[in-house]
Amino acid sequence: MKNNKRSRRQWLLLPIFVVAFSLGWKYHWLGFVVPIAMLVGMVGGLLRGRYVCGNLCPRGAFLDRILSKASPKKDIPAFLRHPYLRAFMFVFLIGILTLQISKDPQNLMHWGFSFWLICFVTTILALMLGFIWHYRAWCYLCPIGSFSALVGGHKRFLAIDEERCKGCLLCENVCPLNLKVASKANNNEIKNRDCLQCLECVDSCPKRILELRSS
């Protein structure tokens, strides 16, 4: 069974990203889609970890619904998951954004352009990583995703009935972030701060033995 509700939601979010990404260079006010998405992601991160990343992020919708069709879907390299690299990307990208805005801080449209520019550059990086490895590889480097994983990634986790698990690993094959699901279960629990809570693994399980729980 496919996660139809999530799919429909992402198809509705997709045009927001496409329009802002394609036209923000000309209509700078479209760049304000970026801080809105960032704010939603950070607030959501405090409350529910990476739920917004997996369900409400406009760029995430593009990665899942469009880029996934052209991605080789190889395993995401371990170095992209390294906490030091993720911390560096957070500081570097926020610093670049701040520096760009500081060039004309009193001009509201310059703010919009600055947000669009950082979105444009990181999306190009996301496309490169997606074509080389996996369509969601960028999500390990996304500053908002890393923030959400750090502050709220512990608040929800997957539960599994290990006795009924047959080890088919279909749950891992559909995970957008290549997370180990059934193979990393511990006392009927699978805890990973980067879980996008997309429920793709839950819907793919033929035994229906996976569920998302709050800590």
Averaged pLDDT for residues 105-111: 97
Q: How confident is the model at residue 215 (pLDDT cuts 50, 70, 90)?
A: confident
> pLDDT (tens digit, 9 = 90+) per residue, 181-198?
998 888 999 999 999 999
Q: How confident is the model at residue 22 (pLDDT cuts 50, 70, 90)?
A: very high
Averaged pLDDT for residues 155-176: 94
**Is the pLDDT assigned to residue 200 strictly greater than 60?**
yes
Averaged pLDDT for residues 145-173: 95
Q: What are the strands of the beta sheet with 156-160, ordered from one edge?
A: 189-190, 156-160, 210-214
Averaged pLDDT for residues 155-170: 94
| CATH fold for domain 156-214 | Alpha-Beta Plaits (3.30.70)
Please state, in angstroms and rounded to a whole number, the distance separating the CA atoms of residues 55 and 10. Answer: 7
Please state, in angstroms and rounded to a whole number, the distance separating the CA atoms of residues 49 and 190. Answer: 15
> pLDDT (tens digit, 9 = 90+) per residue, 66-92?
999 999 999 999 999 999 999 999 999
Residue 2: what pLDDT? 55
Domain segments of the chain as ranges: 4-151, 156-214
Q: Is 100 exposed, middle or buried (0-12, 13-18, 19+ CB in 10 A)?
A: middle
